[in-house]
């Protein structure tokens, strides 16, 4: 750009226009969230047929009703169930995916090329192709209506996306440290736990956060595997509101929605750098 | 996470470390590390795929043993089940609306943010947030209310609630996907920043204006990332479930207008207990996604430009 004093002004105006456009887009984007927060505090008669985003007064009782839970199951129970599943999934993915990733990134074994290609292909595999037989297997094992079908697969590195993410990260690490460790007599296991794993921390954090958020939001798997209301997660409990069309339940329903979203919002605010960078790098190393 | 490179066809498994330990011992260690993945890949992926292929030729309700019926599920699906075709048309319509809109918006915003000096990180995070929140039941419920009779959209546009109109309900679902444009936008933005500044400088020296630079530098250099986003978002869009489920209150209505493929699969398999039929549906979905991906890869040769091609 050969900018002179003359061409300086339009550039600045252009920049201002971009900022204004972005701000306007942001307002539209954030509207559903503002709506959710406002509605969770509205009295029942203002939810529908009122153009006013803001409630006439703050109806905190929506939250106390929501805290009572659904189907006589308290919200603490629902929250605990959601946390248990998400926590188990995080642990499973971080352990199993980093183990597999280390083998693919650093170790030599027969069939490595084909197995790596197969692992990549399973990223593309639609979940529904294996859903029904998986369900039948867990049904035969008597594990339907337990948390095993939701947690166990994560300990078997079935989410290949994360294996791939960690492989890519490990490939970027310098080999010198591992070679030094090997000369000092470290086998692959000590080398993995003491040298590679600490260096892989950013990728493991990204894996953990994405796993947590995706498991927390998951609906389909929980829908088919969990039946008892006291085993329900927050997502499934919210679903019982879906059928209820009466507007009187709207306030508590959206209060509960806010509670269900809160962990994700907090995770996002705390770890946004990892999330954005993780997403960016996933797309660039094909 | 910091070292990134435009994907190349030469990005293969690198050669490994020099030999020091006995080969067999190192090979054994590799299989120990791989064992959870191998178990998962066989028991939870390969075996279920084979089983679901078998089940697709049977009548199975989970309680009685499967009855072999040959191709009947497939014949019934393709020739006797209007709801099946309805769900196919609905899903394809959804993919064709949601994916291009989402990617176009992602690209426009990424281009707007690219040259920004102040506020880029803020906007990038803020626009990305819906990608994390949008898959939740909470937001899907908001969507249903905002697009319902008396909701915001009805009040603003006077169109009535979209969720109750067969011609409009799918658009409400698609807009929820478009709202989550942040993930592909972040990938586009990272791709844009990989483009060497020299290319733009050289183009400017040759007298190329903004538009010319966009067409001749940005588009070809960004095409691998565009392709990656297109494949990924298309595959995901074919499997849409939660937003259609929530926006239609779990029924796929009105008049089956939001009964997407996976919802009908759920309905056949887990509500009506026709596991054989649902397995056949799952295999058709798998094959269709495979074919669409293959076609995208095939056509990509004519429009995706890999910078490393010149080196070979």
- Residue in B with minimal Cα distance to A36: B142
B29 min Cα distance to partner chain A (Å): 7
CA distance A285 to B38: 24
Whether A157 contacts A95, CB under 8 Å: no
* Start-to-end Cα distance in chain B: 27
Question: Does A188 contact B33 at a Cβ distance shorter than 8 Å?
Answer: yes
The CATH code belonging to domain B82-305 is 1.10.3720.10
Fold of A64-284: MetI-like fold (1.10.3720)
Whether B241 contacts B262, CB under 8 Å: yes
Question: Does B119 contact A19 at a Cβ distance shorter than 8 Å?
Answer: yes
**Long-range own/partner contacts, residues B46-50 (CB < 8 A, 24 or more apart):** B47/A133, B47/A137, B48/A129, B48/A130, B48/A131, B48/A132, B48/A133, B48/A134, B48/A137, B49/A129, B49/A130, B49/A133
Residue-level pLDDT at B41: 94
Q: Is the pLDDT of residue A71 over 50?
A: yes
Beta bridge partners, B58, equal B68
B238 min Cα distance to partner chain A (Å): 9
Question: Does B286 contact A125 at a Cβ distance shorter than 8 Å?
Answer: yes
Lowest mean pLDDT across A4-8, A27-31, A102-106? A4-8
What is the reported pTM? 0.87
B58 min Cα distance to partner chain A (Å): 13
Whether A166 contacts A97, CB under 8 Å: yes
Residues of chain B neighbouring A52 (CB-CB closer than 8 A): none
Among the partner-chain residues A129, A239, A242, the one whose CB lies closest to the CB of B283 is: A129
Question: Does A99 contact B13 at a Cβ distance shorter than 8 Å?
Answer: no
B152 min Cα distance to partner chain A (Å): 7
Residue-level pLDDT at A243: 63
- Domain-by-domain residue ranges, chain B? 82-305
Residues of chain B neighbouring A224 (CB-CB closer than 8 A): 266, 270
Among the partner-chain residues A133, A157, A261, the one whose CB lies closest to the CB of B37 is: A157
Q: Mind listing the pLDDT tens digit for each residue in B23-77?
A: 566 688 899 999 999 999 999 999 999 999 999 999 999 889 999 999 999 999 9
| pLDDT interval class at B3 (50, 70, 90) | very low
**A 81-120 residues with CB below 8 A of B?**
95-96, 99-100, 102-104, 106-110, 112-113, 115-116, 118-119
Whether A50 contacts A115, CB under 8 Å: no
Question: Does A157 contact B36 at a Cβ distance shorter than 8 Å?
Answer: yes
- Determine the Cα angle at B154 with ends B262 and B130, to 5°: 50
Among the partner-chain residues B6, B146, B279, the one whose CB lies closest to the CB of A132 is: B279
Residues of chain A neighbouring B110 (CB-CB closer than 8 A): none
CA distance A179 to A189: 13
- Domain-by-domain residue ranges, chain A? 5-60, 64-284
Q: Is the pLDDT of residue A3 over 50?
A: no
Residue B240: exposed, middle, or buried by beta-carbon count in 10 A (0-12, 13-18, 19+)? buried
Residue-level pLDDT at B50: 94
Residue-level pLDDT at B106: 95
Residue-level pLDDT at A9: 53
Q: Mind listing the pLDDT tens digit for each residue in A111-161?
A: 999 999 999 989 888 888 898 999 999 998 999 999 999 999 999 999 999
Higher pLDDT, A157 or B251: A157
Among the partner-chain residues A2, A130, A260, the one whose CB lies closest to the CB of B138 is: A260
**Cα-based torsion angle of the residue sequence B72, B73, B75, B80 in order, rounded to the nearest 10 degrees:** 110
- Which three-class secondary structure state does DSSP give residue B67? strand
Residue-level pLDDT at A51: 66
A122 min Cα distance to partner chain B (Å): 8
CA distance B89 to A164: 34
Question: Does A25 contact B127 at a Cβ distance shorter than 8 Å?
Answer: yes
Q: Is the pLDDT of residue B16 over 90?
A: no
- Beta strands (DSSP E) in B60-151 are 67-68
Residues of chain A neighbouring B39 (CB-CB closer than 8 A): 156
Q: Mind listing the pLDDT tens digit for each residue in B254-285?
A: 888 999 999 999 999 999 999 999 999 999 99
């Amino acid at each position: 750009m050969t900018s002179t004093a003359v061409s300086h002004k339009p550039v600045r105006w252009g920049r201002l226009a971009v900022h204004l456009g972005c701000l306007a887009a942001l307002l539209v984007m954030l509207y559903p969230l503002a709506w959710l927060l406002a509605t969770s505090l509205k009295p029942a008669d203002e939810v529908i047929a009122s153009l006013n985003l803001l409630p006439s007064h703050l109806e905190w009782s929506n939250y106390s009703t929501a805290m009572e839970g659904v189907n006589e199951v308290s919200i603490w129970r629902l929250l605990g169930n959601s946390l248990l599943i998400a926590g188990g999934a995080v642990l499973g993915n971080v352990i199993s995916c980093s183990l597999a990733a280390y083998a693919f990134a650093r170790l030599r074994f027969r069939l490595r090329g084909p197995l790596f290609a197969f692992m990549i292909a399973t990223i593309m595999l639609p979940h529904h192709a294996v859903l029904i037989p998986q369900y039948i297997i867990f049904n035969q094992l008597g594990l339907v209506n337990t948390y095993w079908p939701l947690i166990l697969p994560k300990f078997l590195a079935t989410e290949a996306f994360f294996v791939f993410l960690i492989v890519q990260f490990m490939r970027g690490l310098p080999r010198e440290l591992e070679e030094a460790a090997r000369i000092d007599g470290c086998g692959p296991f000590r080398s993995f736990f003491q040298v590679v794993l600490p260096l892989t921390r950013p990728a493991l954090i990204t894996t953990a956060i994405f796993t947590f958020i995706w498991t927390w939001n998951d609906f389909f798997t929980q829908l088919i595997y969990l039946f008892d209301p006291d085993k329900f997660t927050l997502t499934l409990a919210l679903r019982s509101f879906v059928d209820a069309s009466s507007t009187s339940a709207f306030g508590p329903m959206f209060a509960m929605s806010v509670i269900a979203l809160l962990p994700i919002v907090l995770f996002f605010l705390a770890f946004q750098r990892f999330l954005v960078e993780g997403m960016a790098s996933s797309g660039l190393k094909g | 996470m910091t070292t990134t490179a435009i994907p190349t066809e030469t990005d293969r498994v690198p050669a490994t470390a020099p030999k020091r330990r006995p080969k067999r011992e190192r090979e054994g260690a590799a299989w120990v590390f791989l064992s959870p993945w191998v178990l998962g890949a066989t028991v939870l992926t390969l075996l279920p795929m084979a089983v679901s292929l078998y089940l697709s030729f049977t009548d199975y309700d989970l309680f009685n043993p499967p009855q072999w019926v040959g191709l009947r599920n497939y014949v019934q699906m393709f020739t006797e089940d209007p709801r099946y075709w309805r769900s196919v048309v609905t899903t394809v319509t959804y993919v064709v609306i949601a994916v291009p809109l989402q990617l176009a918006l992602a690209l426009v915003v990424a281009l707007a943010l690219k040259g920004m000096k102040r506020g880029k990180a803020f906007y990038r995070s803020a626009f990305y947030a819906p990608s994390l929140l949008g898959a939740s039941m909470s937001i899907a419920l908001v969507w249903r209310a905002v697009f319902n009779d008396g909701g915001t959209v009805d009040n603003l546009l006077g169109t009535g609630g979209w969720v109750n109109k067969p011609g409009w309900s799918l658009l409400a679902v698609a807009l929820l996907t478009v709202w989550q444009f942040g993930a592909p936008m972040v990938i586009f933005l990272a791709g844009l920043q990989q483009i060497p500044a020299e290319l733009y400088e050289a183009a400017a020296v040759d007298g190329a204006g903004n538009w010319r630079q966009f067409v001749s530098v940005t588009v070809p250099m960004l095409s691998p990332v565009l392709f990656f986003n297109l494949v990924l978002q298309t595959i995901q869009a074919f499997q849409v479930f939660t937003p259609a489920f929530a926006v239609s209150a779990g029924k796929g209505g009105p008049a089956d207008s939001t009964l997407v493929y996976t919802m009908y699969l759920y309905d056949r398999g887990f509500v009506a207990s026709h596991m054989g039929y649902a397995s056949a549906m799952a295999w058709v979905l798998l094959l269709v996604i495979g074919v669409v991906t293959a076609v995208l890869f095939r056509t990509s040769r004519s429009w995706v430009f890999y910078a490393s091609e010149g080196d070979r």
